[in-house]
Amino acid sequence: MGRQRRPRAGAEDAGPTPGVYPIDTGTCELVADSLHPQGWVVKVNGVESSHVNLSDPQRLDFEYMRWIAMLVRERWPVDARLRALHLGGGACSLARHVAAVYPQSRQVVVEIDGKLAELVRTWFDLPRAPRLRIRVGEAREVTESLTEATRDLVIRDVFAGEVTPEPLTTLEFTRHVRRVLAPGGMYVVNCGDHRDLTTARREAATLGAVFTHTVAVADPAMLKGRRYGNIVLAGSDAPLGRSPGLARDLLGGAVPAHVWQDEQVRHFAGTSRPLLDPPASTPTPPG
């Protein structure tokens, strides 16, 4: 695409306008989707972060988001009153999808960049509170502050560049998520990894140390360590990912994917150790 012009002051008030916008953590670029008149791509610091289709909130163009949505739909009927927590906001693509599929849901999106949250709320006509609230804050701090057993679904999709901040991957943090989940709740993480899959194996080991049941979803090339990409991992205290319909739907996407059940996920993790918080520093005694 050609160079995007910088928006004039106040242009965001008129809805989506292509351009580069300053945000708290750098820059956000809004690019019109050349393949769909109502589609928009949001780039944060040069990296594609989200895709939004204004005319169809149920449409998800990022494959890993479709995989997450399939896991959610397999677990809950459309009349469920889901209480969802999204760690990582971006353009709120998944939150818009959940709001459309589960109209009785109540969602909180945690986004660290307040200016980005403000722009997204203006551009994309998101559902209003209490259906969808955007809370500006750091994902771990917000999660640790929440009351026990108050969420049915927690989705982690937080990246700084190509990696998830380490404090959001550890055993200690995952235990906080488990505390926040109601019985039967599900924790879903978007794990980005390279061909050696070291991070994905350790994340699988971490989830397996906290939850009784785990699943993994990715395309075969990713699962075989042939490229950089996304693996979706999920954990719960109840069985998940067992529906034949889920396996069939995953194979039918633009990028066919496989689902691994708990035994396969634990085999994949192998001898990898769960990720841990760094040890607290011991104060040096005076003297």
Q: Count of domains in the chain?
A: 2
| 277 inside domain | no
Mark whether 101 and 207 lie in a shared domain. yes
Confidence of residue 110 (pLDDT cuts 50, 70, 90): very high
281 assigned to some structural domain? no
Same domain, 156 and 200: yes
Asked if the model's pLDDT at residue 9 lies above 90, the reply is: no
**Average model confidence (pLDDT) across the chain:** 93
pLDDT at site 282: 60
pLDDT reported for residue 11: 40
What's residue 253's pLDDT? 82
Asked, for residue 287, whether it belongs to a domain, the answer is no
Q: Could you tell me if residue 276 is inside a domain?
A: no
129 and 35, same domain (yes or no):
no
**pLDDT (0 to 100) of residue 125:** 87
Q: Answer yes or no: are the C-beta atoms of 231 and 193 closer than 8 Å.
A: yes
List the structure tokens of 220: 């075969």
Regarding whether 233 and 139 lie in a shared domain, the answer is yes
What whole-number percentage of the chain has pLDDT above 70? 93
Based on the domain organization, do 261 and 220 belong to the same domain?
yes
Per-residue model confidence (pLDDT) at position 7: 43
Same domain for 76 and 148, yes or no, is: yes
Examine the domain organization and report whether 140 and 41 are in the same domain. no
Peptide bond into 130 cis (omega under 30): yes
Is 286 contained in some domain?
no
Co-location of 119 and 208 in the same domain: yes
Q: Which residues neighbour 235 within 8 Å (Cβ) at sequence distance 6 or greater?
A: 174, 178, 186, 187, 207, 208, 210, 211, 213, 214
Inside any domain, residue 96: yes
Alpha-carbon separation of residue 63 from 70, 83, 156, 157, 253 (angstroms): 11, 23, 16, 13, 8
Alpha helix locations (H) across 42-123? 63-75, 93-101, 114-123
Let me know whether 166 and 37 are in one domain: no
Q: What is the CATH number of the domain that holds 134?
A: 3.40.50.150
pTM, to two decimals = 0.92
162: which 2 tokens?
A: 């190509």
Give the structural domain span for 189. 63-269
Torsion of CA 194, 198, 200, 205, to 10 degrees: 180
In terms of domains, do 88 and 193 share one?
yes
Q: Residue 43 is encoded by which pair of tokens?
A: 């780039």
Q: Is the pLDDT of residue 5 over 60?
A: no
Residue at 6 is within a domain? no
Q: Are residues 81 and 42 in the same domain?
A: no
What single string gives the DSSP state of each residue in 175-236? HHHHHHEEEEEEEEEEEEE-TT-HHHHHHHHHHHHH-SEEEEEE-HHHHTT-SSEEEEEEEE
Q: Is residue 283 part of a domain?
A: no
Residues constituting the chain: 287
Claim to verify: residue 47 and residue 69 sit in the same structural domain: no
What would the pLDDT profile of 27-84 be if each residue is shown by its tens digit? 999 999 999 989 999 999 999 999 999 999 999 999 999 999 999 999 999 999 999 9
Taking only the tens place, the pLDDT of each residue in 115-136 is 999 999 999 989 999 999 999 9
pLDDT score at 281:
66
